[in-house]
């Protein structure tokens, strides 16, 4: 397999990072989140649909429930015909910050929308953000939401786990991991720590190419940009999360680590140092 997403030699990690951070800031500026009051934003042409979703919470909750995480609800909703029966994913975060922290900081939904914009600028496939908003009470952050396009005819990577329906498709599992290495390497080169690089947060088409499946990162709520000099542990943490979850063999991990380093040429570690860094992390 060839590495198609290698960072161009003329593009150093600092410029790569500046590109991502510029798009992060641009997304926040476009949404223009208010600090004191409740607010909502939608891309042009989706404002009416977003308002309909806000006005019909029972219709939202009659959709397909997609998450059981405490404090978060994720629903797949099919909009009415007047909105072209479009399928969207509605993610709601409740009880985010019951402290003064919530007065001055953006919500999880706002940060995720900005993360999607940043990683998209790096050539990493992510869902299209359609709407976002926060509810505040006298400035205190109460809840937030983000709406994205639903990506149809896909499955998430958990189907490749030992308990998944495709657990015997070892060739596809390695192809999936190879593609994941290419994209997470790009994110790391810009100083982005995913912080929750789990298989179920990565989609691929149902009819995926075994050796080179297309993947989409769908959950960046916990991702944060870190100083490039402090990325060593973040890199190891993201990789070991995926490797451990998929129960990969030592030989498979070694091959994938080599592939990761072939893409992220800015990483200061060689394959043995990366291996040691992963082994030092608690499972």
Q: Compute the residue count for the chain.
A: 283
- Give the model's pLDDT for residue 282: 75
pLDDT value at 2 more than 50: no
The answer to whether residue 90 scores a pLDDT higher than 90 is yes
Residue ending a domain, among 126, 149, 172, is 149
Strand, helix or coil at 76? Answer: strand
Per-residue pLDDT averaged across 131-153, rounded?
93
- Does residue 178 share a domain with residue 145? no
The CATH number linked to 198 is 1.10.510.10
Q: Count CA atoms within 13 Å of residue 67 on its CB side.
A: 17
* Chain centroid offset of residue 24 CA: 14
Q: Which residue has the tokens 């891309």?
A: 43
Same domain, 70 and 136: yes
Measured CA to CA, the distance from residue 228 to residue 240 in angstroms comes to 19
For residue range 24-52, what is the model confidence (pLDDT) as tens digits?
999 999 999 998 899 999 999 999 999 99
Query: What is the distance between the alpha carbons of residues 234 and 54, in angstroms, rounded to a whole number?
Result: 37
Rounded CA gap, 173 and 168, in Å? 9
Rounded to whole angstroms, how far apart are CA atoms 207 and 224? 32
For residue 87, tell me if it sits in a domain: yes
Average pLDDT, the chain: 91
Residue 193 lies in domain? 152-279
**Six token digits for residue 154:** 């896909």
Closest CA relative to residue 264, chosen from 187, 198, 178: 187
Q: What is the CATH number of the domain that holds 63?
A: 3.30.200
- Written as one string, the DSSP assignment of 203-235 is EEETT--SSS---EE---TT-EE--GGGHHHHH
> In this structure, what DSSP letter does residue 7 have?
P
Average pLDDT over residues 139-157: 95
Q: Partners of 54 in the beta sheet?
A: none
Q: What is the pLDDT of residues 218-265, one digit of tens each?
A: 999 999 999 988 999 999 999 999 999 999 999 999 999 999 999 998
What number of H helices and E strands is found in the chain?
Answer: 9, 11
Same structural domain for residues 144 and 188?
A: no
Please give the tally of structural domains in the chain. 2
246 CB neighbour count, 10 Å cutoff: 24
Q: How confident is the model at residue 7 (pLDDT cuts 50, 70, 90)?
A: low
What pLDDT, on the 0 to 100 scale, is given for residue 95? 72
Mark which of 149, 182, 212 sits at the end of a domain: 149
Contact 213, 200 (CB under 8 A): no
């Amino acid at each position: 397999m060839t590495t198609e997403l290698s960072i161009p030699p003329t593009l150093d990690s600092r410029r790569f990072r500046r590109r991502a951070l510029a798009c992060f800031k641009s997304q926040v500026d476009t949404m223009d989140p208010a600090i004191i009051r409740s607010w909502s934003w939608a891309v042009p042409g989706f404002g009416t649909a977003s308002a309909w979703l806000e006005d019909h919470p029972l219709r939202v909750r009659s959709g397909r429930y997609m998450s059981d995480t405490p404090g978060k609800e994720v629903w797949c909703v099919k909009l009415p015909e007047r909105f072209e029966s479009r399928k969207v994913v509605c993610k709601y975060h409740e009880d985010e910050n019951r402290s003064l922290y919530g007065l001055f900081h953006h919500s999880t939904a706002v940060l995720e929308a900005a993360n999607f914009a940043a990683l998209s600028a790096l050539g990493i496939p992510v869902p299209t953000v359609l709407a976002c908003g926060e509810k505040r009470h006298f400035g205190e952050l109460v809840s937030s939401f983000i709406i994205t396009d639903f990506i149809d005819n896909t499955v998430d990577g958990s189907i490749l786990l030992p308990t998944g329906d495709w657990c015997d498709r070892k060739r596809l599992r390695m192809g999936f991991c190879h593609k994941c290495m290419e994209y997470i390497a790009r994110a790391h080169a810009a100083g982005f720590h995913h912080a929750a690089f789990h298989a179920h947060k990565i989609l691929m088409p149902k009819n995926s190419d075994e050796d080179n499946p297309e993947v989409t990162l769908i959950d960046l709520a916990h991702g944060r940009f870190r100083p490039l000099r402090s990325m060593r542990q973040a890199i190891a943490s993201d990789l070991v999360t995926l490797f451990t979850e998929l129960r990969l063999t030592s030989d498979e991990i070694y091959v994938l680590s080599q592939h990761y380093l072939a893409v992220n040429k800015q990483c200061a570690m060689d394959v043995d140092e990366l291996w040691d860094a992963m082994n030092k992390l608690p499972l």
